[in-house]
């Protein structure tokens, strides 16, 4: 029997608890967690994600701001805006939506955010702390993928876990988190240059995929009973859909769901967990600020 790892339902449950904790923080300490999302340029997909993140934050009772800048914004203008957010005591979390226009260096921009407000977990300081196994705000997608496993009682202790993808946002931090002393997984990182990927993924107890390629893996890549967690969000043409497109993961859900013990759907799997972890990180950043 295959069980679906329902990210939508899990995220909603976590968010209910978060809303209560947010209210308590406000009544007990007079602090309302605040999230600022920075959007540079007119990328339509980014605009949708930013709107969703900000709306969810407001729904939970957070202070929520979106700062929109034209694609022609200079490095100095952007740094100045981030300086303002770093100094603003109403803001506990800052997220600069990626990708940025080509003339803006993402590392330089992200590192302008003060680490205590880095709710995306992407500054060099946050990444360094994660690598060292020290307390930090962890990147939202890998954190959400692992939380989903936790909620369904799937342990990683001593298991063979294959991570497909080595991006800075997902694959690499996920591999670090899985191999930590808390998770104790035996981790293999596969990527676009990996030879005989199927031979490697077939030996896995758990496969976590964030490769950014629609239907890259199918039933031939997995063994019976595998746990599959798919962070892919790819749009493919779909004549039956209203807008002519549909969202699919990196895994061919149709065939793989027949042999997996647990699998995330796309949409409704990892995506909602990512947003949920952003909200949780913002709450944690506000809590830390309240404790000095
Ligand atoms: N663009 C796509 N995913 C993300 C994310 O998790 N964080 C940021 N900042 N930008 C993104």
256 neighbors 198 (Cβ within 8 angstroms): no
User: Looking at domain 140-271, does it have CATH number 3.40.50.720?
Assistant: yes
Tell me, yes or no, if the two domains 30-115 and 140-271 fold the same way: yes
Reported pTM: 0.97
Distance (angstroms) between ligand 1 centre and the Cα of 97 equals 5
Cross-strand pairs, 217 = 251
Give the pLDDT of residue 121.
98
Give the pLDDT of residue 292.
77
Clarify whether 213 is annotated catalytic: no
Give the pLDDT of residue 1.
87
Q: Which residues of the chain have pLDDT under 70?
A: none
Give the pLDDT of residue 139.
98
Best probe residue, ligand 1, of 52, 120, 140 (max atoms within 8 Å of C-beta): 120
Give the three-class secondary structure for 142: helix
C-alpha span between 179 and 156 (Å, rounded): 9
Give the pLDDT of residue 225.
98
Best probe residue, ligand 1, of 38, 169, 173 (max atoms within 8 Å of C-beta): 169
Tell me the two tokens of residue 175. Answer: 């591999």
Clarify whether 53 is annotated catalytic: yes
- Phi, psi dihedrals of residue 25, rounded to the nearest 5°: -60, -35
C-alpha span between 16 and 21 (Å, rounded): 9
112 neighbors 82 (Cβ within 8 angstroms): yes
Give the pLDDT of residue 39.
98
Mean pLDDT in the chain?
A: 97
What Å distances lie between residue 37 and 12, 113, 196, 220, 270, CA to CA?
Answer: 21, 12, 40, 41, 20
Q: What is the DSSP letter of 220?
A: G
Give the pLDDT of residue 190.
98
Could you state, in order of their start, the residue ranges of all structural domains in the chain?
30-115, 140-271
Q: What is the DSSP letter of 101?
A: P
Cross-strand pairs, 230 = 209
CATH class, range 30-115: alpha beta
Catalytic residue from among 15, 117, 118, 120: 120
3-state helix, strand, coil in the chain (%, to 5): 40, 15, 40
Give the pLDDT of residue 119.
98
Q: How many other β-carbons are positioned within 10 Å of the β-carbon of residue 134?
A: 8
């Amino acid at each position: 029997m295959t069980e679906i790892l329902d990210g939508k339902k899990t995220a909603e449950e976590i968010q209910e608890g978060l809303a209560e904790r947010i209210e308590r923080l406000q009544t007990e300490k007079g602090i309302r967690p605040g999230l600022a999302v920075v959007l540079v340029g007119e990328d339509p997909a980014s605009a949708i994600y930013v709107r969703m993140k900000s709306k969810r934050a407001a729904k939970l009772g957070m202070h929520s701001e979106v700062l929109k800048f034209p694609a022609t914004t200079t490095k100095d203008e952007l740094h100045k805006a981030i300086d303002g957010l770093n100094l603003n005591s109403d803001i506990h979390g800052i997220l600069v939506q990626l990708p940025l226009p080509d003339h803006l260096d993402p590392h330089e921009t992200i590192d302008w955010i003060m680490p205590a407000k880095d709710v995306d977990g992407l500054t060099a300081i946050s990444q360094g702390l994660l690598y060292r196994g020290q307390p930090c705000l962890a990147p939202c997608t890998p954190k959400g993928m692992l939380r989903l496993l936790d909620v369904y009682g799937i342990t990683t202790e001593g298991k063979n876990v294959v991570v497909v993808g080595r991006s800075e946002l997902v694959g690499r931090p996920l591999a670090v988190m899985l191999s930590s002393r808390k998770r104790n997984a035996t981790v293999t990182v596969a990527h676009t240059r990996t030879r005989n990927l199927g031979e490697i993924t077939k030996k896995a107890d758990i496969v976590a995929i964030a490769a950014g390629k629609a239907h890259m893996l199918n039933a031939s890549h997995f063994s019976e009973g595998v746990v599959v967690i798919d962070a892919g969000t790819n749009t493919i043409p779909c004549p039956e859909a209203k807008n002519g497109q549909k969202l699919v993961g990196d895994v061919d859900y149709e065939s793989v769901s027949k042999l997996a013990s647990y699998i995330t759907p796309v949409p409704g799997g990892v995506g909602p967990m990512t947003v949920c972890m952003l909200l949780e990180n913002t709450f944690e950043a506000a809590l830390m600020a309240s404790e000095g």
